[in-house]
């Protein structure tokens, strides 16, 4: 029997067998917003049911929030499986000798030739089954820039494009549940993912869960990543408005 009392840390590490434990793969994804007019937001009552809201059901008159910050998001169209031909955030697998931030910058450079951005870690996404290939956890990074960078196609990306972003928030049953309708448009394409959000407030902290209702032409769970990022921008805008008072 192993004498654990007399085992040094050097002995432990020398004999450690990492193959005994299954490991998930880890990726990074880069969410980059170019924001030209921060804080341009309109809130109004939804009196009529338009063509693109009829599938939300008859909920009567609701307060619907429209968000438009003059914002654009950078997406790449995948050239390989999974979700070949779908739009996604620039990203990929980390290397064993890289920090997460280094991986994020490298993947962005390899897929779009964009460099020199300042990122903030947004959130980890690790739902079981979120990726068709394997157990994969992704770390999403968020960058907010004022001047749009030219994106060129590289690595396994088939196309890269900036999309204008608009968002509509429609309550479902109460203030804690709502639908985010996201509209992404460039000169040729319109992508309209739909995500259900459930907010649970604790004593101080708030926890939100996101369920993709319609991916539209977005790869994997990136509609969820996009929703979390948009909500983060809204939170930043509220804090900025408070500080400017």
Two tokens, residue 80 = 């390989």
pTM of the predicted structure, to 2 decimals: 0.84
Two tokens, residue 221 = 């769970």
Q: Which residue has tokens 């408070």? A: 242
> Are 30 and 91 spatial neighbours (Cβ–Cβ below 8 Å)?
yes
Whether the ω angle into residue 216 lies within 30 degrees of 0, i.e. cis, is no
CA distance 226 to 230: 6
pLDDT tens, the chain, 245 aa long: 456 677 899 988 998 988 898 999 999 999 999 987 665 544 443 333 343 444 444 444 566 787 777 899 999 999 999 999 999 999 999 999 999 999 999 999 999 999 999 999 999 999 999 999 999 999 999 999 999 999 998 877 889 999 999 999 999 877 689 999 999 999 999 999 999 999 988 888 889 999 999 999 999 999 999 999 999 998 888 776 656 55
Residues whose CB falls within 8 Å of the CB of residue 222, separated by 6 or more in sequence, listed in order: 29, 87, 88, 89
Query: Would you say the C-alpha torsion 76, 80, 85, 87 has a positive or negative sign?
Result: negative
CA 110, 111, 117, 118: dihedral to nearest 10 degrees? Answer: -90
């Amino acid at each position: 029997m192993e004498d654990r009392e007399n085992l040094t840390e050097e002995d432990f590490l020398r004999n450690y067998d990492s193959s005994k434990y299954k490991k998930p793969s880890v990726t990074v994804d880069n969410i980059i917003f170019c924001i030209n007019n921060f804080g341009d937001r309109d809130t109004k009552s939804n009196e009529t049911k338009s063509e693109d809201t009829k599938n939300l059901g008859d909920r009567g008159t609701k307060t619907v929030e429209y968000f438009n910050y003059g914002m654009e998001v950078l997406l790449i169209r995948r050239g390989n499986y999974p979700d070949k031909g779908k739009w996604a955030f620039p990203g990929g697998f980390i290397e064993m000798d890289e920090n997460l931030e280094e991986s994020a910058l490298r993947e962005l450079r390899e897929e779009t030739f964009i460099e020199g951005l300042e990122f903030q870690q947004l959130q980890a996404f690790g739902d079981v089954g979120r990726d068709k290939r394997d157990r994969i956890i992704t770390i999403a990074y968020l960058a907010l820039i004022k001047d749009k960078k030219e994106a060129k196609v590289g690595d396994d990306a088939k196309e890269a494009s900036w999309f204008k972003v608009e968002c509509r928030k429609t309550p479902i049953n109460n203030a804690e549940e709502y639908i985010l309708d996201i509209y992404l448009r460039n000169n040729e394409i319109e992508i309209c993912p739909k995500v259900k959000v459930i907010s649970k407030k604790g004593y101080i902290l708030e926890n939100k869960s996101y369920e993709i209702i319609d991916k539209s032409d977005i790869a994997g769970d990136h509609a969820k990543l996009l929703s979390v990022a948009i909500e983060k921008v809204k939170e930043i805008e509220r804090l900025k408005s408070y500080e400017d008072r």
